Chain A
Amino acid sequence: MAVSLSKGGNVSLSKEAPGLSKVCVGLGWDPRVTDGAEFDLDASVFICGDNDKVRSDADFVFYNNMTGANGAVAHQGDNRTGEGEGDDEQIVVDLGKLPADVQKLVFAVTIHEASSRGQNFGQVSNAFMRVVNAGGDKEIARYDLSEDYSVETAMVFGEVYRHGGEWKFKAVGQGFSGGLGPLASNHGVNIG
């Protein structure tokens, strides 16, 4: 059973799932059944040092850059239509392998070309984002994008961050306007 995290709520990953070494952020949605442009949702993560900024452009892990932090962060593949059961995109993080200067991972979901295609999460069926213990199947938090973020086109999902000697997860659930480019710029990535 998922821990019900309200916006801004946080949870200790090590307490929720003892022995947790990997977390997986999953994104799922249903393929479009009506006519029109496909719904192409993208999961991405910013590997941040201090000040919530990436240490370098390579810390922006997304569909054109599938791994980061020496392989500790691994995007499992870009799904462009939502076909398939369960999570359609996943980002797996090996917490134990993250370099010491990594303070925070910021996970986000965006709709590819949302503005030119005139799309938002509410038009997509059964879109969700969740974080689970990659070892077991313990769901730590989950957001229903179709229902509760219907008019958004991008969302900062949550943060995995160091606190004392442990890793914690904070549910952010904050809509973001402008899409992936501005979101990346906000986190210190040079978008060209």
Chain B
Amino acid sequence: MTQLAMGANAALAGNLISLGIALPSGATIDVTTLLLYDTGKVRGDDDMCLYGQPSVAGGAVALSGGAANPRFAYNLSRLPNGVEKLVVTATVDGSANFGSLAPFTVNVENGPTLPIETKGRSEAALILAEIYLRNGQWKIRHVAQGFNGGLKALAEHFGVDISDDAARRPAAGAAPPPPPTAGSSPAPVATPAAASGSAPEPATTVNISKVNLTKEKKTVSLTKKDGKYGKIGINLNWTQKPRKSGFLGLGGSGNVDLDLGAFVELSDGRKFGVQALGDQFGDYSREPYVKLLGDDRTGEATEGEWLQINGDKWSEIRRIMIFCFIYDGAANWRETDGYVTLHAPGQPEVEVRLNEYGSRDMFCAIAEIRNQGGEVAVERLVEFYLSHREADLAHGWGFEWVAGSKD
């Protein structure tokens, strides 16, 4: 019997498929087969086969068997027109999730077995498998991915309306937060290869780690090399919908102009603003040792906008707050999908995504970079403010503000 690993797929023989699920004990688990169209969603209640509705599509999809050993029978040649995929799902009743249950299997008669691992899982609803047509051949894929929010999240994903009554069970929030996964927060300098003996000179090796600053992991410190950091680049980029898609481009003025800037405080207490607004582009080799390169007004340049910090002058810098603001266009941060990356020579790239949406404020304080005993300590902020002035107040900068504009 072939075993299909998670992610793996296999061809199915024939159009009559019998798929059994040997469920673990210890929780009530509901299994469902959903019939999906090219939208990846169901069209209505008839596209769901479950205990309350054990036969759909004129019997082409049917459920039988007991609660512990449900079995689906599919006649793939008689599926309704337009059905492109069947997904087999399982949801845990109550507040439990799959992480508390024993591993189990999905078994295709005269076909592969899918061992479903449960260890470390936080999902209360799982897509166990999908059956799909590819190049004229029906195949099955071991998916085993799902939703911590249980049935409600699963149903929404596939376009199923469920009543509040059905949603009561593993509603969002009932599931415990996912356990931290080992290795999900890489140390800035450690790499897998570093452990294997014969450590080469650190200064002449390549660092393959990268760092995502998130709500959960807010800070990182860059390690110093030779007392100097070199040229530190800060890039703001965004994946604005291109004009040709006719989305943001409609109406001509829909494009968003995101501007990158920085507040800089030197170790002697002097403070500087660096931004395109007011033509304050800064200077790399003299104070404030921070320079803004150009100004990308549309986001179409793939490189985005760059700030450069003179890392060789790091001892003269106390702190830098990196921010961006929407100079022109609506404050729709989700459409903009901006992200900022910090590049320092020989250091892992540090990325901060502006992914806390919903704010209509025009100003986003992205990160603060502090001189911490000579180290470069980066802290993710991603805080939204009405304007420069409010951000200034909140972070104790004390600038005087006048209105400005760009040419």
Contacts and interface: CB of A to CB of B under 8 A. Distances in A.
A113 B210 CA distance: 10
A155 to B, nearest CB: 14
A69 to B, nearest CB: 16
A182 B183 contact: no
A22 to B, nearest CB: 15
Given A179-B192, A190-B204, A190-B206, A122 B6 contact: yes
A124 B143 CA distance: 10
Of A118, A120, A192, most buried by chain B (CB within 10 Å of CB) is A192
Contacts of A33: 157
Given A122-B9, A191-B193, A78 B208 contact: no
A50 interface: no
A4 B387 CA distance: 54
A176 interface: no
A83 B393 CA distance: 35
Nearest to B349: A64
B206 A113 contact: no
B335 to A, nearest CB: 12
B208 A184 contact: yes
A80 interface: yes
Interface residues on B, range: 35 or more
Interface string B342-382: 01000111010000000000000000000000000000000
Interface of A: 32-37, 57, 60, 62-65, 76-78, 80, 83-84, 112-113, 115-124, 147, 150-151, 179-182, 184-185, 189-192
21 contacts: A34-B127, A35-B147, A35-B178, A37-B181, A63-B349, A64-B210, A64-B347, A112-B210, A117-B181, A117-B183, A122-B6, A122-B8, A150-B8, A150-B9, A184-B206, A190-B201, A190-B206, A191-B191, A191-B208, A192-B193, A192-B204
Interface of B: 5-9, 122-123, 127, 134, 141-143, 145-149, 153, 157, 178, 181-184, 186, 191-194, 199-202, 204-208, 210, 212, 237, 239, 302, 337, 341, 343, 347-349, 351
Minimum-distance CB pairs A-B, first 8:
A192-B205, A122-B7, A116-B183, A34-B145, A181-B193, A123-B7, A191-B193, A120-B7
